[in-house]
Amino acid sequence: MASDNKAALIDGKAIAQTIRSEIAAEVAQLSEKYGKVPGLAVVIVGTRKDSQSYVSMKRKACAEVGIKSFNVDLPEQVPEGELIDKIHELNANPDVHGILVQLPLPKHINEERVLSEISIEKDIDGFHPLNIGKLAMKGRDPLFLPCTPKERFLSTWHSN
């Protein structure tokens, strides 16, 4: 039985540019309609090269599409309580619609505790224990479901 299945070559860079253009247009519409733009806080602790590079790409992508980036860079030895205080500030900031904490965190910080402090409405990665639990339960809808970065961020922004 012969198969006519053929591989299709896709242009990832072109697709990414199309998605960025769509997001930029949506952000411009939101700005015009509401007088504000979505805000994303990216929290990084320490100076790991791989994490710094990844966060830099996130911040650059925000700038390219018009999303306001809130940069929180903390030293490697920051006390856990200080990191949690910063997350509480971001939770309370009405201009911040999404929060990402770059992982891994240093060994002296309880990752689970820190992630559970992110407001469930601003938990872009969907790591909040309520989101993870509902995601794992058959027939339950998570309060926040990470999907494509565009959809998950803009759906969070629309709800605020």
Name the strands in the sheet holding 68-74, side by side, starting at the edge strand that comes first in the sequence. 68-74, 39-45, 98-101
Choice among 36, 52, 73, 125 that is catalytic: 125
Q: Which of 160, 158, 159, 125 is nearest to 26 (CA)?
A: 158
Active site residue 58: yes
The residue annotated as part of the active site, out of 86, 102, 122, 123, is: 102
**Candidates 58, 86, 122, 123; catalytic one:** 58
Asked about 125 being catalytic, the answer comes back as yes
Rounded Cα distance, 47 and 70, in Å: 18
Determine the angle formed by the axes of helices 49-65 and 12-34, rounding to 10 degrees: 60
Distance CA 100, CA 42 (A): 5
Q: Which of the residues are catalytic? A: 58, 102, 125
